[in-house]
Amino acid sequence: MKKISLSNIDAFKISDNDTNEVFYGCCQDWFGTGWQRLAGCGPSVACNIFMYHRRGEHTRNKSACAAMMEEVWKYVTPTKRGIHTVEMLCERVTAYGASKGMTISSARCEVPENRSLRPSPEEVASFLTDALSRDIPVAFLNLCNGQEKNLDEWHWVTVAAIETGDPEGRLPLCILDRGRIVKIDLALWLGTTSHGGGFVHFSIT
């Protein structure tokens, strides 16, 4: 099997100065209100993307990242249904970037609810491989986790690595979710999700 991953997953490492606990990526539980903690997966993933893009510029501690999450929330703001489409995340991430003087472009891979319209596992793997090999993290929207038990439904996570070439057809992904590194099987998700979701990555200049 071949693993394609971001060059430095430790760029997502966040320390809690009070407890010395270490996290990987932002956790929506750090938001200040109950609604934010419930619906904050999209803004948290957006923070991960900007944090990786700006790696090396700031010390990564929980309080600083929580403050950034609140700032990003003002632009990457969930609706009553959360941020439930790839297009919605693109629009809001682009708006936040523009507020910081950044130019942002995006590439998407939609996984529709209609199975006949979905890309093949090979096409999705190619989309992810292309981004990760260029050191670009990928945002992943899962509207239904199907038989993949390590995913929450109606939820955004950050993809940091993929393994290809498994003889049994599995496509292991390394994702960041709620401050943890988690392993899932992309092929299992694609084959069993009833509502789909999608993937998006961003080029930021």
Three-state DSSP string of 60-76? CEHHHHHHHHHHHHCCC
- Overall average pLDDT of the 42-51 stretch: 97
What is the pLDDT, as a whole number, of residue 32? 97
Q: Give me the domain span that covers residue 68.
A: 2-204
> Which residues does residue 22 pair with via DSSP β-bridges, in sequence order?
15
Residues 184-200 have a mean pLDDT of 97
Q: How far apart are CA 14 and CA 167, in angstroms?
A: 36
HSE-CB at 59 with a 13 A cutoff on CA atoms is: 7
Take residue 94 and report the two structure tokens written for it: 């682009």
pLDDT at 58: 60
| Distance from C-alpha of 200 to C-alpha of 142, rounded to nearest angstrom | 12
How far, in Å, CA of 93 to CA of 50, rounded?
Answer: 9
Least Cα distance to 124 among 42, 43, 72, 185 occurs for: 185
Q: Which CATH number belongs to the domain containing residue 151 in this structure? A: 3.90.70
- pLDDT score of 60: 82
Burial track 5-41 (b if 16+ CB lie within 10 A, e otherwise): ebeebebbebeeeeeeeebbbbbbebbeeeebeebbb
pLDDT at residue 159 is higher than 80: yes
Residue 19 CA, chain-centre distance (Å), reads 26
Binned at pLDDT 50, 70 and 90, residue 17 comes out as: confident
Count of CB atoms situated within 10 Å of the CB of 98: 12
Please count the structural domains in the chain.
Answer: 1
The tens digit of pLDDT for each residue in 49-102 reads: 999 998 766 658 999 999 999 999 999 999 999 999 999 999 999 999 999 999
SS3 of 181, please? Answer: strand
